[in-house]
Amino acid sequence: MTELIPKPRGVVATTGEVRLAAHSRLHARTGTQGVGHWLSTALRQATGLPLREGRELDDAGDGIVLQLDPGLGPEEYRLVSDWNGVLIEGGSAAGVFWGAQTLRQLLGPDAYRRAPIRRDRAWAVPYLTIEDAPRFRWRGLMLDVARHFMPKEGVLRSLDLMAAHKLNVFHFHLTDDQGWRIQIERHPRLTETGSWRARTKTGHGASPLWDEKPHGGYYTQDDIREIVAYAAERHITVVPEIDVPGHSQAAIAAYPELGNTDVIDTNALSVWDTWGINPNVLAPTDNTLRFYEGVFEEVLELFPSEFVHVGGDECPKDQWRRSATAQARIRELGLADEDELQSWFIGHFDSWLSARGRRLIGWDEILQGGLADGAAVSSWRGYAGGIAAARAGHDVVMCPEQQVYLDHRQDPGPDEPVPIGWVRTLEDVYRFEPVPPELTPEEARHVLGTQANVWTEVMEDHARVDYQTFPRLAAFAEVAWSALPAPAERDFADFERRMTAHYRRLDALGIAYRPPAGPLPWQRRPGVPGRPKDGPPPSR
Ligand code: TNX
């Protein structure tokens, strides 16, 4: 049962086990009540045990105690299972929460079920001591809900899956050319018009196809508040992304005056129904700035996170080159070119966010034309942007597409459902190193951490998202949390051995992961695996 993922810093095992029973109690001391509530709910669902709130460890030695230990780092925890019961201590409630996640793994895969399958089974925690702490403070997952909308329940489920893997930053990609997914009260057409597209490109290559089926959806501000609160209970910070000045066709379709009206007829634009880099970008006008300040004002009220992501990626400059308005702006500001105009645009929101006590983060294109003072960078086009930013003293989140883009295929085989050619296998992800050797230790301190990105052009529902995300997210979680050696020295065989236990957990969670061997989910023949015809009736 100690096949833990992500691998903890240190485990010392002895013989014996704590057996949870009907009279076992859970006691959450000062500052850990929220974790206690989460843990008792999760374990009650799975085990059917009452786990009543207790005062202290029982004489029986089968209770669970949660408490803070100010001597530990903020996300650090210690889990001791011995004749006294199970004690989880953390430097903060977050540390205790990660310890509670470890406890769930120690209880076995059935601890991930939503209802007990067998009443008579024992729930045991082996005697051991675990000392553990994360390598990085930013252990992120980015989910693109713009290309394909994911209903709120799916987002909450993703947060649960992140928590189970000790990931703590949810980068919520809320807007793009293909859809605007967050209600903004002062600009209602962003969702009325911007959240729906009439059809979606499905085919690839020379002869694209469209499905002729409307697609859309958005989160109300109440939904967003619920998502943020749900994440907070799981010690996950939600970083919202509102993409500017590129990836904005959905917004322009809703409010045509946001586009370069002197270059194209923006009234003719609708929410984009295909993929790729879109030429229709925001006009660099005062009207656009005021409009988006209004958007960000509402965003700041909904999301308490220190960082706010403003996109900044893939902004073709062609319309700005042809626009008299954009050119006048370049002259008026004394800028050299369109790249500097993009920097000015991002710089405006950097100061605007800083004045409100927040920090801007953007994709590495925001380096072009000069990086705004306090800005942090999501390095996606390899490491180069991250290296340049760290050297210039900016904070960085490493998420190079060559390693941690989970929309890329995970196997070269012809049956892989993804039309993207690049292969990023489970082992590739496991051998991903977020801190490139080029950085000095001083510069490396600017690497806040790392993030896996799930772009959903080819994922129309959460089963496809599961398939692309798992099992690779388990490897990614270990890279983000555990103190692994250099890539070549990593023990992938040991990781695979632990994955055998982890697949059972993913099964219990109902995740449609890519199986390590055997037929892919849609290739299973009816009647082969599954419940035997004359098997026992399901237990109640
Ligand atoms: C590049 S990563 C993009 C996304 C796409 C992704 C597909 C980034 C900042 N931009 O818009 O969805 O590639 O892999």
Q: What is the amino acid identity at position 369?
A: G
pLDDT interval class at 203 (50, 70, 90): low
- For the chain, the C-alpha Rg in angstroms (whole number) is 25
pLDDT interval class at 208 (50, 70, 90): confident
pLDDT at 201 over 80: yes
pLDDT interval class at 150 (50, 70, 90): very high
Q: How far apart are CA 466 and CA 410, in angstroms?
A: 13
pLDDT at 234 over 80: yes
As beta bridge partners, residue 125 has 18
380 Cα–ligand 1 center, Å: 8
Note if 148 is an active site residue: no
533 Cα–ligand 1 center, Å: 46
pLDDT at 341 over 70: yes
E strand or H helix at 173, and its extent?
Answer: strand 169-173
* HSE-CB of 98 using CA atoms within 13 angstroms: 33
- The pLDDT tens digits of the residues spanning 159-185 come to 999 999 999 999 999 999 999 999 999
Q: Token pair for residue 366?
A: 């925001």
pLDDT at 257 over 50: yes
Q: Are strands 77-82 and 123-132 parallel, antiparallel or unpaired?
A: antiparallel
Of all protein residues, whose CA lies closest to atom 12 belonging to ligand 1? 455
- The pLDDT tens digits of the residues spanning 454-465 come to 999 999 999 999
pLDDT interval class at 116 (50, 70, 90): confident
E-strand ranges in 187-327 read 196-197, 215-216, 237-244, 307-311
Binding site membership of 481 for ligand 1 (Cβ less than 6 Å): no
215 Cα–ligand 1 center, Å: 20
CA-to-CA dists, residue 479 to 134, 428, 450, 453, 487, angstroms: 10, 11, 9, 14, 10
- The pLDDT tens digits of the residues spanning 414-433 come to 889 888 889 999 999 999 99
455 Cα–ligand 1 center, Å: 7
For residue 532, the model assigns a pLDDT of: 47
Average the pLDDT over 320-324 and give the result.
98
Note if 176 is an active site residue: yes
- The pLDDT tens digits of the residues spanning 121-141 come to 889 999 999 999 999 999 999
Binding site membership of 313 for ligand 1 (Cβ less than 6 Å): yes
Of all protein residues, whose CA lies closest to atom 4 belonging to ligand 1? 455
Binding site membership of 380 for ligand 1 (Cβ less than 6 Å): yes
Q: How far apart are CA 205 and CA 424, in angstroms?
A: 21
How much is the mean pLDDT over the chain?
94
Binding site membership of 363 for ligand 1 (Cβ less than 6 Å): yes
For residue 520, the model assigns a pLDDT of: 82
Of all protein residues, whose CA lies closest to atom 6 belonging to ligand 1? 455
Ordered strands of the 123-132 beta sheet: 10-20, 123-132, 77-82, 85-90, 64-68, 25-28, 52-53
pLDDT at 540 over 50: no
Number of the ligand 1 atom closest to the C-alpha atom of 407: 14
492 Cα–ligand 1 center, Å: 28
- The pLDDT tens digits of the residues spanning 349-374 come to 999 999 999 999 999 999 987 787 78
Cα of first residue to Cα of last residue in the chain, in angstroms, is 26
Q: Token pair for residue 483?
A: 């103190």
41 Cα–ligand 1 center, Å: 38
Of all protein residues, whose CA lies closest to atom 5 belonging to ligand 1? 455
pLDDT interval class at 57 (50, 70, 90): low
Three-class SS of residue 229? Answer: helix
Residue 95 near residue 72 (C-beta atoms within 8 A): yes
Residue 361 near residue 389 (C-beta atoms within 8 A): no
Contacts by 107-111 with C-beta closer than 8 Å and gap 24+?
Answer: 107/1, 107/20, 107/43, 107/46, 107/47, 108/1, 109/501, 109/504, 109/505, 109/507, 109/508, 110/46, 110/47, 110/508, 111/42, 111/43, 111/46, 111/47, 111/508
**Ligand 1 pocket test: which of 241, 281, 314 has the largest number of ligand atoms within 8 Å of its C-beta?**
314
CA triplet 248, 249, 255: central angle to 5 degrees? 95
Q: How far apart are CA 539 and CA 430, in angstroms?
A: 39
39 Cα–ligand 1 center, Å: 36
Domains of the chain by start residue, with CATH: 10-132 (3.30.379.10), 138-523 (3.20.20.80)
pLDDT at 119 over 80: no
Number of the ligand 1 atom closest to the C-alpha atom of 311: 9
140 Cα–ligand 1 center, Å: 16
For residue 231, the model assigns a pLDDT of: 98
Which among 505, 515, 518, 486 has a CA at the least distance from the CA of 410? 515
**What proportion of the chain, given as a percentage, has pLDDT over 90?**
86
**Phi-psi region at 19: left, alpha or beta (left = phi > 0; alpha = psi -120 to 50):** beta
Q: Is the pTM of this model over 0.85?
A: yes
- The pLDDT tens digits of the residues spanning 65-92 come to 999 999 999 999 999 999 999 999 999 9
Which among 418, 419, 387, 384 has a CA at the least distance from the CA of 401? 384
Binding site membership of 149 for ligand 1 (Cβ less than 6 Å): no
Which among 193, 197, 210, 202 has a CA at the least distance from the CA of 254? 193
In the structure, how many helices (H) and strands (E) does the chain have?
Answer: 17, 19
E strand or H helix at 456, and its extent?
Answer: none
For residue 1, the model assigns a pLDDT of: 53
For residue 2, the model assigns a pLDDT of: 80
Q: What is the amino acid identity at position 263?
A: V
Contacts of 79 (CB under 8 A, 6+ apart): 86, 87, 88, 89, 99, 102, 103, 128, 129, 130, 132
For residue 297, the model assigns a pLDDT of: 98
Average the pLDDT over 284-297 and give the result.
98
Of all protein residues, whose CA lies closest to atom 9 belonging to ligand 1? 313
For residue 528, count CB atoms less than 10 angstroms from its CB and return exposed for 0-12, middle for 13-18, buried for 19 or more: exposed
For residue 527, the model assigns a pLDDT of: 60
**What proportion of the chain, given as a percentage, has pLDDT over 70?**
95
For residue 372, the model assigns a pLDDT of: 79
For residue 525, the model assigns a pLDDT of: 65
As beta bridge partners, residue 64 has 26, 86
Q: How far apart are CA 173 and CA 232, in angstroms?
A: 18
**Positive or negative, the Cα torsion across 247, 251, 253, 259?**
negative
pLDDT at 531 over 50: no
For residue 53, the model assigns a pLDDT of: 82
User: Which of 233, 314, 427, 496 is flagged as catalytic?
Assistant: 314
pLDDT interval class at 523 (50, 70, 90): confident
Note if 247 is an active site residue: yes
User: Which of 62, 132, 144, 176 is flagged as catalytic?
Assistant: 176
Q: How far apart are CA 80 and CA 130, in angstroms?
A: 6
User: Which of 165, 171, 247, 348 is flagged as catalytic?
Assistant: 247
Number of the ligand 1 atom closest to the C-alpha atom of 453: 2
Q: Token pair for residue 433?
A: 């190193």
Q: Per-residue b/e over 130-151, b at no fewer than 16 CB within 10 Å?
A: bebbbbbebbbbbbbbbbbbbe
Q: How far apart are CA 391 and CA 444, in angstroms?
A: 9
